[in-house]
Amino acid sequence: MSKPSVVVEGVSKKFGLSLKSALKYGLVDSCRRLVGRDSDHALRAGEFWALNDVSFSLEPGDALGIMGVNGSGKTTLLRILNGTYSPDMGRVTMRGRIGALIAAGAGFSPMLSGRENIYISGTLLGMTPREIHNKFDEIVAFAELGDFIDMPVRNYSSGMGVRLGFAIAVIGTPEILLVDEVLAVGDLNFQKKCFERIHKLKSEGTTILLVSHSPGAIWSVCDLGLFVDHGRVLVQGAVEDVVRAYDDQNSRNAKSSEAQFAIAVNGREKRDEAAAKESSDSDESASLTSDYGHTRGGTGDAVCLSVRVLSASTGEPVESIQFGESLHLEYRYRVNKRLEFPIFRSSIDAVHYKFVVSLDSYEQGLAWDSLDPGEYVMHVHVANPALRPGMYRLNTSIASRKVGVHTFYWLSAASFVVTHPSDRFLYSNDKAIFFMPCSITLQETR
Amino acid sequence: MRYIDEDGFPVTIYQPNEVQGGVIWGLRQAYHDIVVSRHVIARLFWRDFVAQFRQKILGYFWALLSPVLGILSFLFLFFVGVLQPGQGEIPYMVYVLVGSTIWGCLPGAMGAVSGGLQAQADLIMRTRIPKLALAVSSLAGLIYGILISMITMAIVFVVMGVTPTWWFLAYPLLILPMVLLGTAVGLVLSVLGSIARDLTPMASQALALVMYITPVIYLHSTIQNPFVKNLIDWNPISYLVDVPRSLICLGRADNVDIFLSVSLGTMVLVIIGLRIFYLLEDLVAERL
C-alpha cells in the first residue's frame, strides 16, 4: 500500500477581525516568541477561526475538490498546504514535490517578452534553468503563442497572458498539485486542454487539490470532496455529496441573506405600516399602501396575514424541502369587506428568474361567488413541484375576477430552499429551474 | 521542516512555530534557503534590472548615467565654492564622496532587505519560495550598485587628480560590514515591519540621525563640542566609514582593530537577525 501523499491533522488557523487586532496580536506574539514562549493558541477577543480542526488524508492519484462559499476557509487551507501560512494548531505532512497553480502568471514582468517571462515564472515555480530550457518548446506549444513568444507580455491579450502562465505551471510534473480557481482560462479548446493536462497528471499519480466555486470543474477533476463552511469541514467524502452540500448551503445562504436584505430595505416601510396600524386601531385598510411598487399593498378589503411552507410529514413549518418532496403551503387571510368572486394567486421566483410558476385558484378549478368577512386558512399542496435544487421566493396576491387590479399583493411573502436528493446528482446547470424526467436513447447511425 | 524520506521523496511538514532551532540552525537554514533559491534570486534581480532599461533611448547606459550625473552636480557645487571643505589629508571632495558612498551601503542594504517581503508580497502569497530568499533578493541589486559606485568613484579620483591605493580594489570587502549591519537590521524590520508598518520608516529616520554622529560629510577634527566628539568616538559605525575611506585614499588608517571588532559584531548581528527572522517569518504572510 502506498504512503499517503497529503496528511492534514487537526489543522486550525485564526485571523484578526480587524487590522488593529492583527497589529496588536502580531506584536504580542512576536514578543512572546522572542522571549522563548509559544504564541497564544486560544482564540482571543477580535479573532476568529478561519480554519478549525480540519483533517483529511490523500493517497497518490487522489483528487480532492475543496468547496465552500466565500470566506469559508478553503483558500486559507490551500495557502497552509502551500506553506504560505503557518497553522496555529495541527500538522500538515506533504510527501512529494509540490506544484502550486494558485495564480497563473505570478511574477510576470510586463516589459519583458514571453520568452523571458517563461524563465522567470518557471524559476519562481521551482524549476531549474535546465528544466525550463528542456520544457521551453512544450510550454510555448501548450500556450499556443507561436511567434508572439518574443513580444512583451504587456502587449498580450488577457487570454494570452493566462494561457502562458497556466502552461508554465502545468508543464512541470509535481507529485502534489495545488490548484486555486485557475482552470477557467482561455477559450473552450484551451480549457479542454487544461483539463486533459490535469487528468494526465492525475493518472500519473499526482495528488490534486482543487479549490473552486464551480461544481462542474470540481466534479470533472475530483473523485473526493471537502465542503468547508466557517472554517469547519461539514462534509467529506464522494465528490457528488460535497457538491450537493455546497449547492444546498449556497441556497440556504441566499435565503438568509435575502431575508436580511428584505428586512433592511423594507424596514421603514414596515415601521410605517405598523405605525399606521396602531394609529388606525387595527384598521387594515389604513395600514396598507394602495399603490404598486411596495412589498405589500392593496385596498385593505382583504389581507394575507402569513404564508408558511410546511413539512409534508409533520406539518411543521420548514425552511427547506428535498427535491422530489411535495410542497405544502399554508396561507392565513383576513377578509375585512365582503369579496366578490375572489381569486387567490401565488407565484414563485427563482434566483435568476421571476414568476417561473403561477398557482392560481381559478386555474386550478376553484371558483367562489363571494367570501364574507372573517379569517380563513388555505392549504395548497403541490404533489410534485419538479423544482430543481435552489432557493425560491413566494409572492402571493388576492384578486377578483370582476376587478382588474389586486385587492392585495405581497412580494417575497415566504421563501424556501429545495435541497439536493441523495439518489440523483443534479449538477448540469445552476440556472435551470425544472427537472423533467425523460427517456433518452442513443443509437449509432452509421 | 523538510527532509528526504527512505523512498527518496521530499517530505514537507508544516506545524505551529516549527522554527524552534537555535542561532546556528538559523545560519544553516539561511544557507540552505539561499542555495535552493539562488536561481530565483538571480532571476528576480535580472527581471528588475532588465525591465528598468526597456523602452529607453539610452538603455543600459542609464545604469551609469544616473550616478555620473549625481557626481557631476556634486563637482559643480564644489568648483563654484558652495561646498566649504575642511582641512584634512584627503581632498574634501574625495572625502565626502567615498564617505557617503560607504555610508549609503547601510540604508541601501537595510532598505532592500526590510522592504523585500512587502515588495514581493504577491510571490509570497502565490509561490513556495523561501521568505528569506525574497527578503534578501534585493541585495543582489546592491552588488550591482557597488560596482557602479566604484566606477563613479574612479571618475572622481581621475578628475580630482587623486590616485587611490590598492585598497580601492578591496572596496567590496571593506564595505561588507556596512552591508551586513544593514542586512541584520533589515531582516528584523522585514518581519516586524510587516506587522507594524511604521517600524521601518521609524528606523530610516533614526538612521538619518545616526548619520549626523558619523563622520561622513564632515571631518572628525572639525568637531569642537566634546560631547559630540564622544558620541562620534562611541559610535561604532564611525569606524566602518572612516577606516575603509582612509585605507582607500591614504593606504593607512587608525583604529583598524576597532574596525575589525565592529565588523565581527555585524556578523553576530546578522546571525541574531536571522534568528529573529525565522522566529517571526510565519507571522508575516497573513499581514501582507
Q: What is the mean pLDDT of residues B262-273?
A: 94
Retrieve residue A300's grid coordinates.
385593505
Q: Say what the pLDDT of residue A397 is.
A: 94
Q: Is residue A54's pLDDT more than 70?
A: yes
- A124 contacts on B by Cβ (under 8 Å): 40, 43, 123, 127, 129
Q: Say what the pLDDT of residue B36 is.
A: 82
Q: Is residue B72's pLDDT more than 80?
A: no
Q: Is residue A295's pLDDT more than 70?
A: yes
Q: Say what the pLDDT of residue A310 is.
A: 93
Q: What share of chain A has pLDDT > 70, as a percent? A: 91
A346-364 tens-digit pLDDT: 999 998 899 999 999 999 9
Retrieve residue B231's grid coordinates.
558620541
Q: B147 or B181: which carries more pLDDT confidence?
A: B181
Q: Say what the pLDDT of residue A334 is.
A: 93
The answer to which of A339-343, B273-277, B281-285 has the lowest mean pLDDT is: B281-285
pLDDT band at A272, cuts 50/70/90?
low
- B39 contacts on A by Cβ (under 8 Å): 123, 128-129
Q: How large is the C-alpha radius of gyration of chain B? A: 21
Retrieve residue A51's grid coordinates.
480554519
Give the phi and the psi of residue A406 in degrees, each rounded to 5: -80, 135
Q: Say what the pLDDT of residue A439 is.
A: 93
pLDDT band at A279, cuts 50/70/90?
low
Instruction: Return residues 120-159 of A near B (CB < 8 Å).
Output: 120, 123-126, 128-129, 152
Q: Is residue A393's pLDDT more than 60?
A: yes
Select from A236, A206, A209, A203 the least CA-distant residue to A222. Answer: A209
A128-158 tens-digit pLDDT: 888 889 988 988 888 888 888 888 888 888 7
| Chain B touched by A71 (CB under 8 Å) | no
Q: Is residue A285's pLDDT more than 60?
A: no
pLDDT band at B60, cuts 50/70/90?
low
Mean pLDDT of chain A: 85
CA–CA distance, B18 with B1 (Å, rounded to integer)? 7
Q: Say what the pLDDT of residue B228 is.
A: 86
Q: Say what the pLDDT of residue B10 is.
A: 82
Q: Say what the pLDDT of residue B183 is.
A: 94
B94-110 tens-digit pLDDT: 888 888 889 988 998 99
A203-212 tens-digit pLDDT: 999 999 999 8
- A112 contacts on B by Cβ (under 8 Å): 47, 50-51, 54
CA–CA distance, A247 with A390 (Å, rounded to integer)? 8
Q: Determine contact, residues A312/A326, Cβ cutoff 8 Å.
A: yes
A412-431 tens-digit pLDDT: 899 999 999 988 888 888 88
Handedness of CA B57, B60, B61, B67 (dihedral sign): positive
Q: What is the mean pLDDT of residues B166-189?
A: 93
Query: CA nearest B12 in A: which residue?
Result: A94
CA–CA distance, A291 with A296 (Å, rounded to integer)? 9
Retrieve residue A219's grid coordinates.
466534479
Residue type for B261, please? S
CA–CA distance, B4 with A354 (Å, rounded to integer)? 59
Q: Is residue A277's pLDDT more than 60?
A: no
pLDDT band at A271, cuts 50/70/90?
low
CA–CA distance, A183 with A221 (Å, rounded to integer)? 10
B225-257 tens-digit pLDDT: 888 888 888 999 999 999 999 999 888 888 899
- A120 contacts on B by Cβ (under 8 Å): 43-44, 46-47
β-strand pairing of A63-67 with A224-229: parallel
The number of residues making up chain A comes to: 446
Chain CA centroid to CA A214, Å:
8
CB contact under 8 A, A124 and B43: yes
| Chain B touched by A111 (CB under 8 Å) | yes
Give the phi and the psi of residue A387 in degrees, each rounded to 5: -80, 135
Q: Is residue A101's pLDDT more than 80?
A: no
Q: What is the mean pLDDT of residues A27-38?
A: 80
Which helix H or strand E contains B230, and what residues bound it?
helix B226-234
pLDDT band at A223, cuts 50/70/90?
very high
Burial A113-132 (b: 16+ CB within 10 A, else e): bbebbbbbbbbbbbbeeebb
CB contact under 8 A, A95 and B195: no
- CB-CB: which of B39, B54, B196 is closest to A23? B196
A316-333 tens-digit pLDDT: 999 999 998 999 999 999
The residue with cell 509559544 is A38
Burial status of residue A279 (CB atoms within 10 A of its CB: 0-12, 13-18, 19 or more): exposed
Q: Which residues of B touch A (CB under 8 A)?
A: 5, 7, 9-18, 39-40, 43-44, 46-48, 50-51, 54-55, 122-129, 191-192, 195-196, 276, 279-280, 282-283, 285-287
Query: CA nearest A37 in B: which residue?
Result: B17
Select from A180, A225, A195, A201 the least CA-distant residue to A81. Answer: A180
CA–CA distance, B20 with A445 (Å, rounded to integer)? 70
Handedness of CA A101, A105, A106, A107 (dihedral sign): positive
- B125 contacts on A by Cβ (under 8 Å): 79, 84, 102
Q: Say what the pLDDT of residue B40 is.
A: 81
Q: Determine contact, residues A355/A394, Cβ cutoff 8 Å.
A: no
Q: Determine contact, residues B138/B186, Cβ cutoff 8 Å.
A: no
Q: Say what the pLDDT of residue A222 is.
A: 92
- B287 contacts on A by Cβ (under 8 Å): 22, 26
Q: Is residue A104's pLDDT more than 80?
A: no
Is A319 in a helix, a strand, or coil?
coil
Alpha helices in B60-217 (DSSP H): 62-79, 92-119, 121-126, 131-137, 139-160, 171-174, 176-195, 199-212
Burial A407-427 (b: 16+ CB within 10 A, else e): bbbbbbbbbbbbbbeeeebbb
Query: CA nearest A25 in B: which residue?
Result: B195
Q: Determine contact, residues A116/A132, Cβ cutoff 8 Å.
A: no
Q: Say what the pLDDT of residue A66 is.
A: 93
Q: Is residue A110's pLDDT more than 80?
A: no
Q: Is residue A284's pLDDT more than 60?
A: no
